[in-house]
Amino acid sequence: MAKKKLTTAAGRPYFENEDSMTAGPRGPVLLQDYYLHEKLAHFNRERIPERIVHAKGTGAFGTFTVTGNITKYTKAKLFSKVGNKCRVLVRFSTVGGEKGSADTERDPRGFAVKFYTEDGNWDLVGNNTPVFFIKDAKKFPDFIHTQKRDPKTNLKSANMIWDYWSLNPESLHQVMILFSDRGTPDGYRFMNGYGSHTFSMYNKKNERVWVKFHFKTMQGNRTLTGPQAEELRGKDPDYAQRDLVESIEKKNFPKWKLMIQVMTDEQAGKFKWNPFDLTKVWPHKDYPLIEAGIMELNEIPSNYFAEVEQAAFAPSNTVNGIGLSPDKMLQGRILAYPDAHRYRLGANYEQIPVNRPITPVHNHQRDGFMAIDGNGGSAPNYYPNSFDDIEADREYREHPMELGSVVADYWDRNKNDNDHYSQAGALFRKVMTDRERANTIANFVASMRGITGPKRKEILIRQLDHFHKADKELAIKVAEGLGIKWPPSKK
């Protein structure tokens, strides 16, 4: 077989790959060795901005197959028939660490799915937990700063983390999950994924329901204890990446069942909590899981940078029949995700092959860095015009959302909006086993021992008070582990 010739990026065959052209056997190097410049200059530009959250990630392609009939809720073409299939890309990640951080950190795991459907791309950009630390995107930069590094020491800081959580009790439910064994899943195959937000679906008659998405692992939930996770951080920082790659290469393809929970407008009006509050779940017994499909991951991308680092998921990518909701975090993410991709990958990031939909794209957006899809050719770049036939089809508009008195006033009056404790307490008391409860307490103690300095006592007491409101036993046990008297004596 004829060998391939080394070329410059412009395609000119080049004669030497390792030794620079010099003015004598010992140098100096000649400027005219332009392949040398190209090689060094390109190398200098290999890194793109790291994702500010979810920097460390792993991706795989696969297939989603519709297994449940949910046409009464959605007119999405994907779900129009049991047996329909589409290709998917999934990116799993940790949240707070840098691109080289360890996979077994105690952290939520990102669980982002891109469905390449005949209606365009549908991105379900969730986590491995059904709730989140905050319910308003305005708080997100503050919250994430506390998960990153101290501005002076450049160290992770238990003070920042617990100061923030204790001042933001809405975080408690997510914090409880995080410090349970599920906060350190055994790789990515043995964990559930959740769309987390409330979304909507509408059917052919444009009747809308509110929806939560759950990906239930078919491998079973498997977790690491705190000490196991800590050991793996040193031994194999890429533990989860390795596990996914090796499993798929051995044709042991992981699968998840996609289930939905459905709530009508009427039920939303009567729900005990705000149904659009990202710190709350919908109890399964009231809103049972309905099967929609099965996702199998069966292909590791052949180039990590091209297809995982450049993958851009955005909750704004919905398809006809699946819509958004008033969830304040979701609304914030609709803005923030595409904005982050424009910064990280450029204005034309949807043209990158891994992001490109399988459907044609027609609009009048043009130019910008890396316009690589022909840029609309000679077609008009303005609207209206007399030359092309691109029209905005009203058929695809979302059914109007009624945010009239029932729902809107209900939120205003809903004192349970500030109930940060019932669901966190239910998880601790009713869902966890004795062993999980003991591990959760130990994990809290280990982390809170890191709080130091003049505000230590204040932060600890404030957080113990939140634990107390969720479950008295929890507060007593954590306080005991920290060597603090609980409840504190009244002066």
Identify the active-site residue in 54, 197, 214, 468.
54
Name which of 7, 70, 62 is nearest 39 in CA terms: 7
User: Is residue 95 within 8 Å of 57, Cβ to Cβ?
Assistant: no
Per-position b or e across 4-23, b if 16+ CB within 10 A of its CB: eeeeeeeeeeeeeeeeeeee
Closest CB to ligand NDP among residues 235, 429 = 429
Report the C-alpha gap between 126 and 54 in whole angstroms: 11
Rounded least distance, CB 434 to ligand NDP, Å = 13
Closest CB to ligand NDP among residues 221, 225 = 221
User: Is residue 252 within 8 Å of 200, Cβ to Cβ?
Assistant: no
Name which of 277, 109, 289, 114 is nearest 214 in CA terms: 289
C-alpha triplet 140, 142, 143: angle, nearest 5°: 65
Q: Tell me the angle at which helices 172-179 and 456-470 cross, rounded to the nearest 10 degrees.
A: 90
Binding residues for ligand NDP, rule: CB under 6 A, are: 130, 177, 180, 182, 192, 216, 221, 281-285, 423, 426-427, 431-432, 436
Separation in Å, CA 69 to CA 75, 124, 321, 355, 437: 11, 19, 14, 28, 38
Rounded least distance, CB 389 to ligand NDP, Å = 46
Rounded least distance, CB 420 to ligand NDP, Å = 12
Closest CB to ligand NDP among residues 388, 436 = 436
Rounded least distance, CB 360 to ligand NDP, Å = 37
Identify the active-site residue in 121, 127, 168, 348.
127
Q: Is the dihedral of CA 257, 86, 54, 338 positive or negative?
A: negative
Name which of 116, 259, 113 is nearest 188 in CA terms: 113
Closest CB to ligand NDP among residues 130, 338 = 130
Rounded least distance, CB 433 to ligand NDP, Å = 9
Closest CB to ligand NDP among residues 470, 475 = 470
To the query of whether residue 127 is one of the catalytic residues in this protein, the response is yes
Closest CB to ligand NDP among residues 69, 422 = 422
Report the C-alpha gap between 366 and 383 in whole angstroms: 12
Bridge partners of 208? 202
Closest CB to ligand NDP among residues 163, 181 = 181
Name which of 170, 352, 161 is nearest 277 in CA terms: 170
Q: Is the dihedral of CA 460, 462, 468, 470 positive or negative?
A: negative
Closest CB to ligand NDP among residues 216, 341 = 216
Rounded least distance, CB 44 to ligand NDP, Å = 44
Report the C-alpha gap between 302 and 458 in whole angstroms: 51
Radius of gyration of the chain (CA): 26
Token pair of 246 as six digits? 């090796």
Rounded least distance, CB 132 to ligand NDP, Å = 12
To the query of whether residue 362 is one of the catalytic residues in this protein, the response is no
Rounded least distance, CB 432 to ligand NDP, Å = 6
Query: How many residues can be counted in the chain?
Result: 491
Give the DSSP H/E element, type plus range, for residue 199.
strand 199-202
Q: Which residue numbers are catalytic?
A: 54, 127
